[in-house]
Amino acid sequence: MWRSTCGLSVRAAERAVHRKWSRRLYSHNAAKPPPQSTPVLRTQAEKERRRRDKEKAILSGQHNVDTTLPFPSSYSPEYVETSWYEWWEKEGFFTPEIHDRLPHAVNRSFSMCIPPPNVTGTLHLGHALTVAIEDALARWRRMQGYKVLWVPGCDHAGIATQGFSSAVSEAFVRLCDSGLVYRSEGLVNWSCALESAISDIECRHPFTDRLLPIITDTMVDMELGTGAVKVTPAHDYTDFLLSQRHSLPRLTVIGGDGTMTTLCGQWLEGVKRFDAREQVIDALIEKRMFRGKKDHTMSLPVCRSSGSGEGVRRRPESGLL
């Protein structure tokens, strides 16, 4: 009996102490925690001003080119190039005439020509990469005391008019005499406006949707679309390979001037390719063979020189074995 009463007394005392401290902890008179600070929202202009102030504080000197200073969080060309150009001019690194007066000058020369980039395509970072490397090499040699000459190059697009095409012709003749050049039919990107072949870099390759005769081949994905694809051996690179595999005739239905050839029939001969498309639809409707049409987004190749739509046609071409 004594043990039971003692145990009850201890538990009651624990509950009393728990209630007492609970009231103190959750009392309304207890000090409230400090409110959390609301994050400050800054505008883009404010962020730009703070960034410039930070850069200005770092670059305190007029000719400060200390590379041990901290960099900003994001790349800033103005920050990186500050004072460097002025420092190079002050040291005379851009003036070869005073080379002999430089304390670190050596009796050695370094010359390099800037090869122009191929500007027939869209300019990208790769065009600037080569020039940046050459610029670093020229500056490195200049800092070593060399007499440096970095000559800007010119555009090579007019190389044929400058009399250098004879070297290309000479190399081609030598390859022919050595039996390394063959001639057969192949596909080229063709400009109907220029009536000439154009390079791959001047043409955007299309994904067309033309209805043409069907052959059976494992290259065709039967689960994609209707399972039927066009086959134009004389006007498509993939179909040209299929024609070699299946011995298909390579019929040129569009001439070099962009008009339909005699292989399309007299009613289409000489008709422009886009006008022929409408005439074919009208003929199918008249014969009750037209199943309908719907809008379809497609890519068409465009010649960068003439601005006209382009295609692919069969022509005799030379290749290197």
Residue 195 φ/ψ region, left for φ over 0, alpha for ψ in the -120 to 50 degree band, beta for the rest = left
More reliable by pLDDT, 53 or 212: 53
pLDDT in tens, 13-29: 667 666 766 665 555 45
C-beta separation of 70 from 58 below 8 A: yes
pLDDT band at 206 (very low <50, low <70, confident <90, very high): very low
Higher-confidence residue: 80 or 214?
A: 80
pLDDT at position 310 is 64
- Using an 8 Å Cβ cutoff, are 285 and 196 in contact? no
- Quick one: which of 255, 252, 284 has its CA closest to 271? 255
List of residues 6+ apart from 205 with CB closer than 8 A: 299, 301
pLDDT digits (tens, 9 = 90+) for 177-188: 888 888 777 777
Q: Which residue has the higher pLDDT, 272 or 102?
A: 272
| pTM of model > 0.75 | no
Q: CA-based Rg of the chain, rounded to a whole angstrom? A: 39
Task: Assess whether pLDDT exceeds 80 at residue 303.
Answer: no
Highest mean pLDDT among 73-87, 101-115, 160-174: 101-115
Instruction: Give just the sign of the alpha carbon dihedral 204, 205, 210, 212.
Output: positive
What's the token pair of residue 192?
Answer: 């109907």
Spell out the domain ranges in the chain.
Answer: 53-156, 187-320
Mean pLDDT over all residues of the chain?
A: 70
Closest CA to 251 of 213, 279, 307: 213
Architecture of the CATH domain 187-320: Alpha-Beta Complex (3.90)
Quick one: average pLDDT of 32-37?
A: 52
Share of the chain above pLDDT 70, in %: 58
DSSP 38-99: PPPP--HHHHHHHHHHHHHHH--STT---TTSPPPSS--HHHHHTTHHHHHHHHTTT-GGGG
Q: Are 266 and 279 in contact (CB under 8 A)?
A: no
For residue 135, pLDDT over 80 is answered with: yes
Token pair for 77: 């060309």
- Residue 14 parent element (H or E): helix 2-25
Report d(CA 222, CA 214) in Å as an integer.
12
> Where is pLDDT greater, at 276 or 58?
276
Specify whether the CB–CB gap between 147 and 109 falls below 8 A: yes
